[in-house]
Amino acid sequence: MKKNKISLKEIVSHAKQYGFVFPSSEIYDGINAIYDYGQYGIYLKNNIKEYWWKSMIQINKNIIGLETSILMHPKIWKASGHVYKFKEIFLSNEDTKKSYRLDLLIENYFKKNNYFKKNKDLKKNIIKYIDKKLKINEKEKILKIINKMKILNPKNKERTKWTKIYEYNLMFKIPLKEHDDVNKKFYLRPETAQGIFTNFLNVLNSSKIQIPFGIAQIGKVFRKEIIARQFIFRMREFEQMEMQFFIHPKQEDKWLEYWKKKRLRWHLSLGLGEKKYRVYEHEQLAHYANKAYDIQFKYPFGFKELEGVHSRTNFDLKNHEKYSKKKIRVFDKENKKSYIPYIIETSVGLDRIFLAVFSSCLKKETIKKERIILKIHPALAPIKAAIFPLIRDKRLMAYAKDIYKKLKIYFILTYEEKDSIGKRYRRQDAIGTPICVTIDFKTLKDKCVTLRFRDKMLQKRVLIKDLKREIKKETSMNKLLKLLI
């Protein structure tokens, strides 16, 4: 049996052919960086969501959940710093008239330049210098140092004179009322976190929860990404799963380390392989963070950010106090003083986990013919079991339909009778179904069915009355949750 590597192109094509991910608005030629989830994609996505949600809310008694609105008071985005600081900086040049993201140009430059691998301090100093000049808006000085570094033009790999530097806010601005002009500045939220911060007092006042505690939320966010490539990795509309953990300021380091390890363990539990992950301390911090880690994943296009674990200090709550003029504090019984809590944030893109799981579980195998199998963890599999009559015989079909009817309230199943049994198995392998259940003529006598396991190259006969237990044992999400405690 030959095993081959699978390319991004094949991943995108499999996702479309088998109903996982479709380009949005495709019959109108699509729009860049926006995607729809198909019939199997949405099951897989919901399973990832459920696992994250349970791992946060169900097994941690000090974490609760919320669902806050996408549209929020415009002042929130001033207080959070997004209006002024949630920007991408671009460089352009006269030769090609094309613009490139400054941080990516610099990152690539350092990556390709061996000199900086040995001179890490110099690299850090250059980044710090550029950051400082950005903060005080000294763009000419940045252009000067960039031109001195002789950063090549990515398009033609030639030396270029960078001539312009400009900023671009990533938030979508929308008028709220029919005749409002866009300057009324309502925004589609670019992170779910702010809904949690602005409800901090509501949660505190409506529950008995005490610091340290967390609030988790899953929801859609929107960003005007300019460089939108790599399939669902970087999208303009995507879903975040965020947890904000409120702590005493003195415990910042302890909880940052705790959540970094905890989140890595969560990712490892998906069984994609330890070598696929690495943790990287951020050098260029977001405006709200004073220390941050990226959990990176080895996608088909290289190691890229999967999840961020940030210490946001009291940046957000302090600013919401200032802008809302409401006290957002808790009382420290030991020191008899009130204080603004610090926040450790874990923030992951649901679509990025989807891509990590989908891309690394697709395996190409050749036994006579080449085929692609989705070897996904059974708890995440879109369809838990497929019920087949061996052939299109009336008695077998009735028996199989009856089994499907009895079990469908417990699991997401499929029933199929078309094509040969071999073809039906292969179709289920392609969408990751862990178990196929076949009803044959022997079943009519012994009340047993044949279970075929996707990965185990194994078939076994079980009594119909034990089928529910067998499917549950194989596909239960509890198996995953147990790995976390």
Which stretches of the chain bind ligand GAP, using CB under 6 A?
191, 193, 223, 225, 234-235, 238, 240, 242, 305-308, 345, 347-349, 351-352
* Nearest residue (CB) to ligand GAP, 305 versus 416: 305
Q: Return the number of other C-beta atoms located less than 10 Å from residue 164's C-beta.
A: 13
Q: Return the number of other C-beta atoms located less than 10 Å from residue 138's C-beta.
A: 13
Question: Are residues 462 and 451 in contact, defined by beta-carbon separation less than 8 angstroms?
Answer: yes
What is the nearest approach in angstroms of ligand GAP to the Cβ of residue 312?
8
Backbone angles phi, psi at 123, to 5 degrees: -60, -50
Helix, coil or strand: residue 209: coil
Question: What are residue 281's DSSP bridge partners?
Answer: 293
What is the nearest approach in angstroms of ligand GAP to the Cβ of residue 294?
7
* Nearest residue (CB) to ligand GAP, 32 versus 125: 32
Question: Are residues 323 and 9 in contact, defined by beta-carbon separation less than 8 angstroms?
Answer: no
What is the nearest approach in angstroms of ligand GAP to the Cβ of residue 298?
15
Please give the DSSP secondary-structure letter assigned to residue 21.
E
Q: Return the number of other C-beta atoms located less than 10 Å from residue 274's C-beta.
A: 9
What is the nearest approach in angstroms of ligand GAP to the Cβ of residue 198?
14
Helix, coil or strand: residue 246: strand
Q: Which residue is nearest to ligand GAP (CB)?
A: 349
What is the nearest approach in angstroms of ligand GAP to the Cβ of residue 148?
30
* Nearest residue (CB) to ligand GAP, 347 versus 443: 347
* Nearest residue (CB) to ligand GAP, 87 versus 427: 87
What is the nearest approach in angstroms of ligand GAP to the Cβ of residue 464?
44
Question: Are residues 337 and 48 in contact, defined by beta-carbon separation less than 8 angstroms?
Answer: no
DSSP 122-170: HHHHHHHHHHHHHHTT-HHHHHHHHHHHTPPPTTT-----EEEEEEEE-
What is the nearest approach in angstroms of ligand GAP to the Cβ of residue 37?
13
What is the nearest approach in angstroms of ligand GAP to the Cβ of residue 140?
28
* Nearest residue (CB) to ligand GAP, 244 versus 475: 244
* Nearest residue (CB) to ligand GAP, 11 versus 439: 11
Question: 223 exposed, middle or buried (CB, 10 Å; 0-12, 13-18, 19+)?
Answer: buried
* Nearest residue (CB) to ligand GAP, 223 versus 320: 223
* Nearest residue (CB) to ligand GAP, 162 versus 197: 197
Q: Give whole-number Cα distances, 129 to 122, 205, 406, in Å.
A: 10, 44, 67
Task: Return d(Cα 314, Cα 305) in angstroms, integer.
Answer: 24
The half-sphere exposure of 393 on its side-chain side, counting CA atoms within 13 A, is 13
Which residues, 6 or more positions from 1, have their beta carbon under 8 angstroms from its beta carbon?
Answer: 365, 366, 367
